[in-house]
């Protein structure tokens, strides 16, 4: 199917925006900021190698089941991020020469879908910037709609939208954050670390320091005031170092450790920098730290309880989909779940 055929006549495809509205779900805003100007990488993936392998095996199985016996497959990855799941779909299709895959990756962030559109073999995903709660696609457009830790950020309507665009004989498959699961617990720990760093106000102390010390050198403020400012910065650095030392290894701890090192370096070589440049850097670090903390608390907020996900299941059934019994994905039996597995099909 040509990509243009996926869209209603009154909503033609456009790479920069596809049915996108500025009124996106509030939980999506921090992710839009995160992806802006971001290069492909793994710093957003709060998972260990074992979890990564489990997710890869899971999706490879889903795609192999869904592609086998089909010559042409229209697939959309909803809230695709940089296209991790899209790439696995393309790799699976490349290994099945009889399957021709037409893939679309949609996300609220343009920079994310631009990364997701990177070709894998002959598969060249079409990027689509859109709110998953208001998808621009025609009814029953796709053989397979997938999402990994994404739709829940757009609210309950996004799950219905995913069901709406599935063709007769098609499938909707999603991994969803689970309340009380391993990912939620990890995100809460990260949020606690970042929240503590923000509360210590290291960057505020750094901002005071870069203004006060040059003024002390020029005689505008007393030596006592300068010493008090330096002591406040030192105490803030020590407090953040203590908090970081007790945190679990991962991107958040690395981020905070780099911040401490950068503050120490700048404070020790204050004369090498313009005060205005350091102020811009500090404000940028404040914004990044706040956005990081918001992403983590957002992950915690959108984690789905069994009751909430059963409501989603009933809504999907009400619009004609057959939904498999809810399951969870875990690294091993008895381990905290990593995700709800939501699988639905439209008969036909």
pTM for the complete prediction? 0.84
Is residue 275 predicted with pLDDT exceeding 80? yes
- Mean pLDDT, to the nearest integer, of 137-156? 96
pLDDT in tens, 103-127: 999 999 999 999 999 999 889 999 9
The DSSP bridge partners found for residue 322 are 345
pLDDT at position 5, please? 43
Q: What is the enclosing helix (H) or strand (E) of 279? A: helix 275-302
Third-level CATH fold of 3-181+303-346: Rossmann fold (3.40.50)
Write down the domain spans for the chain.
3-181+303-346, 184-300
Assign 134 to helix, strand or coil: coil
pLDDT in tens, 164-215: 999 999 999 999 999 999 999 999 999 999 999 999 999 999 999 999 999 9
Is residue 98 predicted with pLDDT exceeding 80? yes
- Mean pLDDT, to the nearest integer, of 296-314? 95
Q: Which residue has the higher pLDDT, 261 or 334?
A: 261
Assign 101 to helix, strand or coil: strand
Q: How far apart are CA 107 and CA 51, in angstroms?
A: 23
Q: Which residue has the higher pLDDT, 213 or 3?
A: 213
CA distances from 303 to 112, 125, 152 (A): 22, 28, 8
What's the angle, vertex CA 252, arms to CA 249 and CA 253, rounded to 5? 50
Q: Where are the alpha helices (DSSP H) in the chain?
A: 29-35, 49-67, 84-94, 110-116, 156-164, 182-200, 202-217, 223-245, 251-268, 275-302, 306-318
Share of the chain above pLDDT 70, in %: 88
Which 8-state DSSP code applies to residue 123?
B
Q: How far apart are CA 201 and CA 21, in angstroms?
A: 35
CA distances from 96 to 62, 68, 73, 84 (A): 14, 8, 12, 19
- Mean pLDDT, to the nearest integer, of 212-220? 95
pLDDT at position 3, please? 44
Q: How far apart are CA 142 and CA 162, in angstroms?
A: 10
Is residue 42 predicted with pLDDT exceeding 60? no
pLDDT in tens, 221-240: 999 999 999 999 999 999 99
pLDDT at position 154, please? 92
How does residue 245 score in pLDDT terms, banded at 50, 70 and 90? Answer: very high
pLDDT at position 27, please? 65
Is residue 18 predicted with pLDDT exceeding 50? no
What values do phi and psi take at 171, rounded to 5? -140, 145
Q: How many other C-beta atoms can be found within 10 angstroms of the C-beta atom of residue 224?
A: 9
- Mean pLDDT, to the nearest integer, of 137-163? 96
Query: In this structure, is the dihedral angle defined by the CA atoms of residues 315, 319, 325 and 329, taken in order, positive or negative?
Result: negative
pLDDT at position 20, please? 41
Mean pLDDT of the chain: 89
Q: How far apart are CA 184 and CA 296, in angstroms?
A: 9
Of the listed ranges 20-24, 55-59, 131-135, 267-271, the least confidently predicted one is: 20-24
Evaluate whether 18 touches 132 at the Cβ level (below 8 Å).
Answer: no
């Amino acid at each position: 199917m040509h990509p243009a055929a996926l869209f209603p006549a009154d909503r033609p495809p456009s790479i920069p925006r596809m049915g996108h509205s500025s009124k996106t779900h509030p939980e999506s805003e921090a992710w839009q900021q995160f992806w802006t100007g971001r290069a492909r990488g793994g710093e957003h993936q709060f998972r260990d190698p074992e979890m990564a392998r489990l997710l890869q095996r899971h999706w490879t199985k889903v795609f192999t089941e869904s592609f086998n016996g089909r010559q042409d497959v229209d697939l959309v990855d909803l809230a695709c991020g940089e296209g991790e799941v899209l790439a696995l779909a393309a790799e699976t299709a490349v290994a099945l020469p009889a399957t021709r895959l037409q893939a679309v990756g949609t996300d609220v962030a343009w920079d994310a879908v631009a990364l997701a559109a990177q070709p894998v073999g002959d598969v060249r995903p079409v990027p689509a910037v859109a709110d998953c709660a208001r998808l621009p696609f025609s009814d029953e457009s796709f053989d397979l709609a997938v999402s990994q830790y994404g739709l829940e950020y757009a609210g309950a309507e996004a799950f219905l939208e995913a069901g709406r665009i599935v063709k007769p004989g098609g499938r909707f498959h999603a991994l969803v954050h689970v309340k009380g699961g391993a990912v939620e617990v990890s995100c809460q720990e990260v949020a606690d670390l970042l929240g503590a760093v923000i509360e210590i106000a290291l960057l505020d102390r750094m901002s005071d320091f870069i203004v006060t010390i040059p003024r002390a050198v020029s005689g505008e403020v007393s030596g006592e005031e300068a010493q008090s400012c330096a002591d406040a910065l030192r105490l803030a650095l020590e407090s953040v170092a203590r908090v970081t030392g007790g945190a679990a290894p991962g991107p958040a701890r690395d981020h905070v450790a780099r911040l401490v090192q950068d503050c120490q370096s700048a404070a020790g070589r204050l004369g090498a920098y313009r005060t205005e440049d350091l102020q811009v850097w500090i404000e940028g670090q404040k914004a990044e730290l706040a956005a990081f903390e918001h992403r983590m608390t957002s992950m915690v907020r959108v984690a789905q309880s069994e009751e909430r996900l059963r409501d989603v299941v009933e809504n999907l059934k009400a619009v004609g989909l057959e939904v498999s019994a809810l399951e969870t994905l875990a690294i091993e039996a008895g381990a905290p779940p990593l995700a709800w597995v939501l699988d639905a099909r439209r008969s036909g």
